[in-house]
Amino acid sequence: MDSRIFRAEPMGLRDDLLRVPLEQRFVYDPQQNLFFINLSHYTVKTLDDVEQIRSAVVTCLSSLGRKVYAIVNYDGFGILPDVMDPYSDMVKWLTDHFYSGVTRYTTSGFLRMKLGESLQKRGVAPHIYEGADEAREHLRDLEGSSP
């Protein structure tokens, strides 16, 4: 029996049931040359969290020997202010090394604004769409305009 049943504080069942392990948040589809990053309901709190994301992407893509298109789901994503700059630096690095095009989406207007500003300062396209359909449409535009 789980000992949390007998404690006064919340059991944390929501986290247990809804948490997707980081390594399951990255999926490469070779047929489409498309890399899906699902950061939905994930919170970046520390520099270690930033490094874990970077490392997971490198692990998934480094053996391909080519750049891929990427789509990032930021719905419900959270990031502490102290790690916004290191996170954005990491995104810039990944974009330079692994992505031929990337598009992002979230329903959070605040996150679109804050992350968009931070990415723009680093020369990364700041467009973060409101929904997955818009993001996919933009990705199709990117694919169509590549040489």
Cα–Cα dist 8/52, whole Å = 33
Report how many domains make up the chain: 1
Bridge partners of 143?
none
Instruction: Kindly report the average pLDDT of the chain as a whole number.
Output: 88
pLDDT at 17 over 80: no
- The domain in which residue 110 lies consists of 3-145
* Predicted confidence (pLDDT) per residue in 62-107, tens digit: 999 999 999 999 999 999 999 999 999 999 999 999 999 999 999 9
Domain containing 79 — which CATH number? 3.30.750
pTM score, two decimals?
0.81
Amino acid at 99: Y
pLDDT at 21: 87
pLDDT at 96: 96
Instruction: With CA atoms as reference, report the closest residue to 114 among 139, 80, 138.
Output: 80
Phi and psi at residue 73, in whole multiples of 5°?
A: -95, 110
Pairing verdict, β 26-29 and 34-38: antiparallel
